[in-house]
Amino acid sequence: VRSNNSSNKIVLIIEYEGTRYHGFQYQIGVPTIQGEIEKALLKFIGERRRVMTASRTDAGVHARGQVVSFRTQSDRSIQTYVNGLNYYLPSDIAVREVYKVSSEFNVRREARSREYRYCILNSMSRSAISRYYSYLVRGNLNIENMNLACQALIGTHDFASFLTGDMSNIKSTVRNVFQAVVKREEEMVLFDVEANAFLPHQVRNTVGALIKVGLGKITVNDFIEMMEERKPGLAGPTAPARGLYLMRVNYPVPFQEINNENL
């Protein structure tokens, strides 16, 4: 019985610099991450395949650990995918890891959490090296107050106030935030957040509101009240995409622990 082999499902862990892309999702006539991956797949395995993603990123947003999957009839060994696809992909997109998974595996539905990081350059002067990778905030940020506001984010809450952009597919604005913390590393202020899932622009609107707290423009109580009002667009302003990274997507069983031989 070899019928299982007739359609393999492959998972790729992808890194990209989002600067020159119109977001993850395929659009006709403009460069997208999905479009580039599907083009590279066509060249490498000779099949026109749709890739699924764990977390769609907006235009300009970066990823260190995006997860995508696709089906294939190809029986190329999975070890060849990393170098094979990287050969065809542009230099600002890279396959970092590859795994074979069960054919029923769904990268979006089965993800338990997404981790995002936002990088604020907290300095009086702009940076050259991190110009595409951070957002410059000149005023001195109060990290302690920003972390007090972060405490209010943790748990299961209605995050409607942090929603802007495409609301067409939003059935519920309740999300479960597992972790939210701000830390200073030299001149960088990093916001790390993990949740089961995020609303459109949720992280960037959260960062916009946290910066207001950090600069003393609003109090931690103002932040909490804004959150409790549950009105789309109340939080913000939406921080620029260039500071945002999808760091990792977590699953019940890490891909590294899946025994490919048993599939």
Please identify every residue annotated as catalytic.
Answer: 58
**Minimum distance of a second copy from residue 153's CB (angstroms):** 26
Residue from 40, 51, 67, 93 binding a second copy (CB under 8 A): 93
The H or E element spanning position 121 is strand 113-122
- Is the CB of 16 or the CB of 162 nearer to a second copy? 16
Judged by CB under 8 A, does residue 126 bind a second copy? yes
**Minimum distance of a second copy from residue 64's CB (angstroms):** 7
Contact of 194 with 111, CB cutoff 8 Å: no
Judged by CB under 8 A, does residue 26 bind a second copy? no
- Is the CB of 123 or the CB of 250 nearer to a second copy? 123
Residue from 127, 142, 219, 250 binding a second copy (CB under 8 A): 127
The angle subtended at Cα 54 by Cα 92 and Cα 240, nearest 5°, is 55
- Is the CB of 73 or the CB of 83 nearer to a second copy? 83
Q: How many CB atoms lie within 10 A of CB 170?
A: 13
The residue to which tokens 């089965």 are assigned = 110
The crossing angle, in degrees rounded to 10, of helices 220-229 and 202-214 is: 150
CA distances 94 to 83, 167, 243, Å, are 9, 31, 19
- Is the CB of 28 or the CB of 128 nearer to a second copy? 128
Q: How many CB atoms lie within 10 A of CB 36?
A: 19
Judged by CB under 8 A, does residue 231 bind a second copy? no
Contact of 37 with 14, CB cutoff 8 Å: yes
- Encoded one letter per residue, x for contact with a second copy by CB under 8 A and - for no contact, window 52-81 reads ----------x-x-----------------
Helix, strand, or coil (residue 242)? helix
Judged by CB under 8 A, does residue 133 bind a second copy? yes
The angle subtended at Cα 115 by Cα 239 and Cα 54, nearest 5°, is 100
- Is the CB of 38 or the CB of 213 nearer to a second copy? 38
**Minimum distance of a second copy from residue 129's CB (angstroms):** 5
Residues that bind a second copy (CB under 8 A): 15-17, 62, 64, 82-83, 86, 91-97, 123-129, 131, 133
